[in-house]
Amino acid sequence: MKFSNSKISSFYNCPFVYHLSYDLGISPKIKPKALDFGSAVHWGLEHNTSNLEKFYNENKNLENFKNDDSRILQEVMVQTYLDNKQQIINKILGDAKLLGEYHEIELNTKIKSKYNIESHDFMGIIDLLLYTDKGFIIVDYKTSSKKPNYDDYLQQLYTYIILCKSEFPDVPVYKIAIINLQKSGTRRKNQTELQYRKQLEKEYVLVDDDDDLIRVNVFDRNTILDSEIEKFENDLTNKCDYMNMVSDIANKNKIWYINWDNLKEYGGSPYLPLCNKEKYSWELYKVKDKYLSNDKIIDYRPMRKIDFDNIYNEVPIYLCRYEYFKMVYKTNPSKIFEMSDDSNVDDELIAMYTKLYQIENKSK
């Protein structure tokens, strides 16, 4: 199992939702608006552009992008940051000299287990890594609806320090910075899009005080105690060990715990209909799986009733996942088609898998 902060957080919030998301690859067709908003802004910062059209086109299913006002706000936030980027980066650098700038860097490390011989694989993605003559400066982007408490992010920052130390043992972490872009609370009232955009641009002028909607907070490395990092790493080991043990038991026995209290917080989890076993709830989700769409191979497909049955009943997984279908089909194709009279079998899905298998083997 490969661990990350998001996987651990998901597991401890609700083990069953973790199972749906990470074990079965099920995700909502429509994401929560807050996630949509932050994803768009992060994409613009990563790609160094406020033209978010490509991101919108690749994520047409996201509910938030039906709202033109949100799109305008996202574009203004990104553009304001880019207009002031050099000033912001200079503030973070101080007297350090910038040697390199790297976006969306995936780093990996090993977390020692207290019970298993093998260590746990752990990964994290750093939004921006600045390489300077004094060492690395780790930069994390945050979007929020109010002024943040930066200490709330410390444990995430500990993770980044551990990852950098593992991947680059000879390069010290010099500083860590958080760039916070706060959403404006201004709503459009009887204004054209251009008027609304101009009003937002006035709000996002950088004047370097704590009331700005774009803020920078810098932690010097010497203010972060090594003892706190070691304590966090020990806690991380305990969490990974526990997750590994509980996941194995729960998957073998199909006994996943649902944390109803957490699911109903903040307006409700997008997985709530599935947890409630609501009729036709599978139509709200998609599944990570090889699939044919207009004869093009893609990585997701709409969730179907057979996927729902596989969660709650004893349906063979090879009937609703291509990787398992392929293993069975290679050795004994009749085993699948012998079940065609079974009410649980999705004939259309099996036909699509068969076609996909033929296409893949024809191209070899």
Number of domains forming the structure of the chain: 2
Residues 6+ apart with CB under 8 A from 245: 115
Domain check: are 146 and 89 in the same one? yes
Domain check: are 199 and 320 in the same one? no
Spell out where the chain has E strands. 2-3, 26-28, 98-111, 120-132, 135-144, 173-182, 214-220, 285-293, 296-302
Q: Which CATH number goes with the domain that contains 191?
A: 3.90.320
Q: Return d(Cα 189, Cα 112) in angstroms, integer.
A: 56
| CA angle in degrees (0–180, nearest 5) for 199-203-208 | 155
Domain check: are 178 and 318 in the same one? no
- For the stretch 292-316, what's the b/e string if a residue is b when 16 or more beta carbons lie within 10 angstroms of its beta carbon? eeeeeeeebbebbebbbbbbeeebb
For residue 315, being part of any structural domain is answered with yes
Domain check: are 286 and 179 in the same one? no
Query: Which is nearest to 159 in space by CA: 39, 239, 40?
Result: 239
Residue 188 confidence (pLDDT)? 87
Q: Return d(Cα 356, Cα 329) in angstroms, integer.
A: 12
Pairing type for strands 26-28 and 98-111 reads unpaired
Spell out where 245-364 has E strands. 285-293, 296-302
For residue 265, being part of any structural domain is answered with no
Residue 303 confidence (pLDDT)? 95
For residue 192, being part of any structural domain is answered with yes
Residue 342 confidence (pLDDT)? 55
For residue 256, being part of any structural domain is answered with no
For residue 50, being part of any structural domain is answered with yes
Domain check: are 228 and 324 in the same one? no
For residue 215, being part of any structural domain is answered with yes
Query: Which is nearest to 237 in space by CA: 292, 344, 162?
Result: 162
Q: Which amino acid is at 271?
A: Y
Residue 102 confidence (pLDDT)? 93
Domain check: are 219 and 286 in the same one? no
Domain check: are 198 and 303 in the same one? no
For residue 98, being part of any structural domain is answered with yes
Domain termination site, one of 206, 239, 272:
239
Question: CA 63: distance to chain centroid?
Answer: 17
Domain termination site, one of 213, 239, 265:
239
Residue 210 confidence (pLDDT)? 60
Domain check: are 314 and 232 in the same one? no
Rounded to a whole number of angstroms, the distance between the first and last alpha carbons of the chain is: 31
For residue 120, being part of any structural domain is answered with yes
Domain check: are 171 and 297 in the same one? no
Q: Return d(Cα 110, Cα 165) in angstroms, integer.
A: 11
Domain check: are 234 and 302 in the same one? no
Domain check: are 73 and 212 in the same one? yes
Q: Given the structure tokens 């036709």, which residue do they identify?
A: 280
Q: What's the domain range around 151?
A: 23-239
Q: Is this prediction's pTM over 0.75?
A: yes
Mean pLDDT, 10 residues at a time, the chain of 364 residues? 91 94 91 71 91 80 61 92 92 94 93 84 95 96 88 89 94 93 89 90 74 85 88 92 91 88 79 92 94 90 92 83 90 72 76 90 71
Q: Return d(Cα 159, Cα 155) in angstroms, integer.
A: 7
Domain termination site, one of 205, 239, 273:
239
Domain check: are 194 and 321 in the same one? no
